[in-house]
Structure 1
Amino acid sequence: MSQSKAPEVRHVEIDAEMAGQRLDNFLARELKGVPKSHIYRLLRSGQVRINGKRAGQTYRLSAGDTIRIPPVRVSQSAVGRVVPHGKPLPVVYEDDALLVIDKPAGMAVHGGSGVSFGVIEQLRRQRPDARLLELAHRLDRETSGLLIVAKKRSALAALHDMMREGRVDKHYITMVAGRWMHPRQHLRDPLYKYQTADGERRVRVQADGKAAHSIVTLRRRWQTMSELGVELKTGRTHQIRVHLTHAGFPLLGDDKYGDFALNKTLAKTAGLQRMFLHAARLAFHHPLSGEPVAVEAELPAELLAFRRWVEQQEERDFGEAL
Structure 2
Amino acid sequence: MSDMSSAAVRHLTVDAESAGQRLDNFLLRELKGAPKPLIYRIIRSGEVRVNKARARADTRLQPGDDVRLPPVRLSERADGAQAAVPAREFPVLYEDGWLLVVDKPAGIAVHGGSGVSFGVIEQLRQARPEAPLLELVHRLDRETSGVLLVAKRRSALKRLQDQFRERSTGKTYLALVRGVWPLARKVIDVPLHKYLLPGGQRRVRVTDARDPHGQRSISLVRVLGSVQPPAGWPADAPPMTLLAVTIKTGRTHQIRVHLAHAGHPIAGDDKYGDFEWNRLLARFGLTRMFLHAWQLSIRHPAQDHGLQLQAPLPAELADWGDVRRFL
Return the TM-score normalized by structure 2. Answer: 0.84
The question of 1:126 aligning with 2:140 is answered: no
Indicate which of 314, 317, 321 corresponds to 1:300: 314
The reply to whether residue 6 of structure 1 matches residue 19 of structure 2 is no
Q: Deviations over 1:122-175 (max 9, x none)?
A: 111122122222111111111000011111222211212211111000010011
CA deviations 1:62-111 (Å, max 9, x no partner) are: 43445454442223432343452154112211122211111110111111
* Aligned residue pairs, count: 307
Distance 1:46 1:139 in 2: 33
1:89 lines up with 2:84 in the alignment? no
Q: Residue type of the partner of 2:15?
A: D
* Mapped partners of 1:235, 1:44: distance in 2: 30
String of CA shifts for 1:179-224, please: whole Å, max 9, x gaps: 2231761111221111222221111111132211111111120471
Provide the residue aligned with 1:98 in structure 2.
99
**Residues 234-313 of structure 1 correspond to what in structure 2 (within 5 A)?**
234-268=249-283, 270-308=284-322
What is aligned with 2:113? Answer: 112
Matches within 5 A, 1:138-157: 138-157=139-158
Alpha-carbon spacing, 1:164–1:8, altered in 2? closer, same or farther (3 Å): same
Unaligned runs of 5+ in 1: 312-319
Shift in Å, 1:254: 0.2
Deviation string 1:203-261 (CA, Å, 9 cap, x unpaired) is 11111322111111111204711111101111111111111111111100000011101
Aligned mates of 1:11, 1:182 — CA distance in 2: 60
**Paired amino acid for 2:218:** H
More displaced, 8-17 or 127-136? 8-17
Q: 1:81, 1:117 within 8 Å by CA — same for their partners in 2?
A: no
2:87 maps to 1:73: no
- For residues 40 and 178 of structure 1, the distance between their equivalents in structure 2, rounded to whole angstroms, comes to 46
> CA separation of 1:136/1:265 partners in 2, compared to 1, >3 Å: closer, same or farther?
same
Structure 1 pair 177–82 and aligned structure 2 pair: CA distance change class (3 A): farther
2-side partners of 1:45 and 1:237: how far apart?
31
Alignment of 1:208-219 (within 5 A): 208=211, 209-219=214-224
Structure 1 stretches of at least 4 aligned residues deviating more than 6 Å after TM superposition: none
Distance in 2 separating the partners of 1:212 and 1:80? 41
The alignment's C-alpha RMSD in Å is 2.7
SS of 2:17's partner is coil
What does residue 229 of structure 1 align with? 244
Q: Are the aligned partners of 1:108 and 1:117 in contact in 2 as well (CA < 8 Å)?
A: yes
8 Å contact kept, 1:175–1:251: yes
The answer to whether the Cα contact below 8 Å between 2:87 and 2:125 also exists between their aligned partners in 1 is no
% identical aligned pairs: 55
Alpha-carbon distance, 1:55 to partner = 4.4
Relative to the length of structure 1, the TM-score reads 0.85
Change (3 A) 1:43 1:239: closer
Task: Output the amino acid matched with 2:182.
Answer: M
Structure 2 CA distance for aligned equivalents of residues 140 and 239 of structure 1: 10
- What's 1:32 paired with? 32
Deviation at 1:54, TM superposition (A): 4.9
